[in-house]
Chain A
């Protein structure tokens, strides 16, 4: 197992380099540059040229890439081109934990809610319970995040005042854990909904499949309690495809946070990335890309390891 992990990690290195080359190429091919923000008659064309020169943006692309990679390997992501004087690593360090925290909680929420519901559905297929769960999941799947977020803010925050309207903590108040959790509830829930719906459906389908298998009948025939049949013999096998899906979902969680972060005023990395993309703030775009790529690779690795945990037949 350990050697498998090491092998996989080593294989990830060329993959990550490939990702950086492609991303670097794409963002530099996009028309425009950071000086689009300097559309101001009192800024002379010479000043824009000087800006491009100072940050080496007129160099051939492979030179720019090599410089960037060289610095990156030494842990230096450079400075923002828009927020001059601010290190990209500072921005990442400030914002990444917020995004990871939000993702973690909403993932847990999605798993804790959708897997039990998927199982319930699968155990009583084509009953009122199943239809209700299915119906609810489709609503969840069809509801856009931004809309759900705004509706919840309007009702639960503005009208009823149960939750804060946004942010990660109350302004001008000392830190308190309860306050943080209070701010987290709505964004984590909204972020979880779309995935919850998908996960519920996958769990249901997969469990339905498994529960029809011979070994389940055998287990029942042996007189095991239904609980044990379903949760020990069924669930373990039923979850294998769900894990695959879950591993693939991680990057989409990243994408989903952008919208949720914006609406809930959550100072995360998704928002940073989108702003940087519009402003052509290359160092920030690249840093976030690298981090997202690393996290995705790690996510997939974890999914592979979980296979082995859930399915004793799989050995690495």
Chain B
């Protein structure tokens, strides 16, 4: 369920969230994989007990939700909660493979333009009304409506028409073959019988979203106490079986330290742990109060080089910069070793990940050679110069993310070694984004991170048409790769598409528009009594209907 929304968003700035989290993401881990293995088996042993019915689970979160309707919300807290309230046609499991949810199966026409979904029978909304094909047609039709005001229209723009073939069959006709369509099909289905009379233009502000959401998910909405918690109760009639838990309370704890204290006191049973708090969490684990579940995050952290700035227009310079930065030492210093060096604009978790992209490993000598080839020679003060211009630039990142602030300082030190002057600048989030994005591009280099969607389509970040207004703010452009990107979403055969995307990743890695820093880890603290948790790369409460509390 969680996969759903995030999935669609190809990438979401991790930062966005993290900045509000005040702390930050930077969790990473690398050699952790071996630990993980052992932890995994441990968990399995624990799981062998019979699940017990009942119990009120309290999950903690630094962020607070905004509204519970995937077609309008944009933050993780909201989507995490709506994952419990709504089910989509399909869901992506912990391996990011699609599985049926409301749809038991689906068929795709030869040419990839007609997608037919066959719904499970007997599914009801929380108010007891049956969920039928009409509800699906209604829900997925909202973003196509001309009055729709939410931010998700582009996820649905490939849809030409939606028809209910019969009560349990829905047919989507697309304008062109579109491989990522399943991620669109993971949006939660809304009840037509409640919302059909609301004008589409007013749906975004309707009180359904905040006061009385009704879905068909494992939990039903009970109460949202402003600034305190959101409580949901078990859906007795859930079509995959009643959840073991009686209720889940999503408790808002804005301070990360306070959240750790609540975990220690047993007032919160589950919470995501940000990297600065990892040491505290490990201590609690040693004391036997919690278990920590660790896995790679579907994300990467990078330094973006602004190619509007002539300093970074030469590919040799960008490659040299990457080689001059010791990423292993950054991972050690900033993340305590909890991360993996990144080389590609993807994640090892993605099926499209190409592990054989060109790599630019730490090599100061070669970096110097490349810079010399590019015409940069040491000046009198030791700083590289070319045509009387110094190699000196500003490295911006957002305040509140400790990892990125530290990276800025380390990079400053490391690049000084090869005669490049870096001036770190830490900025408040909104002002920072305003500077980075179109049409300002008022930066030289930035440290940022992307959370990736389930679908690996790289277009939104790397296509040259995304330079003018989109998120290709480093101004990367390669006509060959543009063509491959246009092609990739039209190829339905996964192996073939993987080849294409792999080529795109290799092309990008070769040109180093970013210096890919690392793939971070996600950590969840779980009360020792909490069982049945499955670590999902992008869905915190994945399969929460199967979680249970030992009593």
Q: Contact residues of A with B, CB < 8 Å?
A: 30-33, 36-45, 47, 50-51, 54, 79, 82-86, 90-91, 94-95, 98, 150, 153-154, 157-158, 161, 164-168, 171-172, 262-265, 267-268, 271-272, 275, 278-280
Given known contacts A79-B205, A165-B265, A171-B251, A33 and B66 CB-to-CB distance under 8 angstroms: no
Q: Is B227 an interface residue (CB 8 A)?
A: yes
Fill in one digit per residue for B296-325: 1 if any A CB lies within 8 Å of its CB, else 0.
000000000000000000000000000000
Decide if A262 touches B13 in the complex (CB within 8 Å). Answer: no
Q: Which of A38, A150, A171 contacts B151 (CB 8 A)?
A: A38
Contacts of B262 in A (CB 8 A): 165-166, 265
Q: Once the chains bind, are B253 and A45 in contact (CB under 8 Å)?
A: no
Report the separation of the CA atoms of residues A157 and B267 in the bound assembly, to the nearest whole angstrom: 11
Of residues 381 to 438 in B, which have CB atoms within 8 Å of A's CB atoms?
Answer: 428-435, 437-438
Q: Mark B206-231, 1 if CB is under 8 A from A, else 0.
A: 11011000000000000001111101
Interface residue? B58 (CB, 8 A)? yes
- Other CB < 8 Å A-B pairs besides A41-B12, A165-B261, 16 of them? A33-B430, A37-B74, A39-B433, A40-B9, A40-B74, A41-B471, A42-B10, A54-B149, A83-B66, A85-B207, A168-B228, A172-B249, A265-B228, A265-B251, A272-B227, A278-B19
Residue of A42, A91, A171, A264 with most partner-chain B CB within 10 A: A42
Contact residue among B19, B258, B435, B466 (Cβ-Cβ distance under 8 Å from A166): B258
A47, A82, A90, A265: the one contacting B66 at CB < 8 Å is A82
Q: How close is B515's CB to chain A, nearest CB, in angstroms?
A: 20
In the assembly, what is the distance between CA of A304 and CA of B420, in Å?
A: 61
Q: How far is the CA of A30 from the CA of B264 in the complex (A)?
A: 39
Within 8 Å of chain A (Cβ to Cβ): is B67?
Answer: yes
Chain A residues closer than 8 Å to B430, beta-carbon distance: 30-33, 36, 278-280
Q: Nearest Cβ in chain A — how far from B110, in angstroms?
A: 28
Q: Identify 30 residue pairs between A and B in the complex whose beta-carbon atoms are under 8 Å apart, listed by A's number.
A: A30-B431, A31-B434, A32-B432, A36-B430, A38-B74, A39-B15, A40-B13, A41-B9, A41-B11, A41-B460, A43-B9, A43-B151, A45-B438, A50-B149, A84-B204, A86-B66, A86-B210, A94-B227, A150-B257, A165-B258, A168-B228, A262-B255, A263-B255, A265-B228, A265-B253, A265-B254, A268-B227, A271-B254, A275-B64, A275-B254
Assess whether B20 is interfacial by the CB under 8 Å rule. yes
A128 to B16, CA, bound (A): 54
Interface residues on B, range: 35 or more
Contact of A42 among B19, B227, B435, B460 (CB under 8 A): B460
Q: Which residues of B contact A263 (CB under 8 A)?
A: 255, 257-258
Q: Is B8 an interface residue (CB 8 A)?
A: yes
Bound complex: CA of A88 vs CA of B152, how far in Å? 24
**Which 8 pairs across A and B sit closest by C-beta, in order of nearness?**
A267-B227, A32-B430, A41-B460, A45-B469, A94-B226, A85-B205, A36-B433, A39-B13
Determine the chain B residues whose CB is within 8 A of the CB of A36 once the complex forms: 16, 429-430, 433-434
A5 and B58 CA atoms in complex are apart in Å by 50
Contact A278 B261 (CB under 8 A): no
Interface residue from A158, A161, A171, A264 paired with B249 (Cβ < 8 Å): A171
- Chain B residues whose CB sits within 8 angstroms of the CB of A95 once the complex forms: 226-227
| Interface set, chain B 133-169, CB cutoff 8 A to A | 149, 151-155
Contact partner of A47 (CB less than 8 A), chosen from B154, B209, B428, B434, is: B154
B430-466 contact mask (Cβ, 8 Å, vs A): 1 or 0: 1111110110000000000000010000001100001
Known: A84-B72, A166-B253. A265 touches B258 (CB 8 A): yes
How far, in angstroms, from A295 to B49 measured CA to CA in the complex? 57
Q: Are A45 and B470 in contact (CB under 8 A)?
A: yes
Instruction: Report if A39-B58 is in contact (Cβ < 8 Å); known contacts: A31-B431, A157-B261.
Output: no
Contacts of A37 in B (CB 8 A): 16, 74-75
Q: Which B residues are CB-close (under 8 A) to A164?
A: 267
CB B78 to nearest CB in A, in angstroms, measures: 9
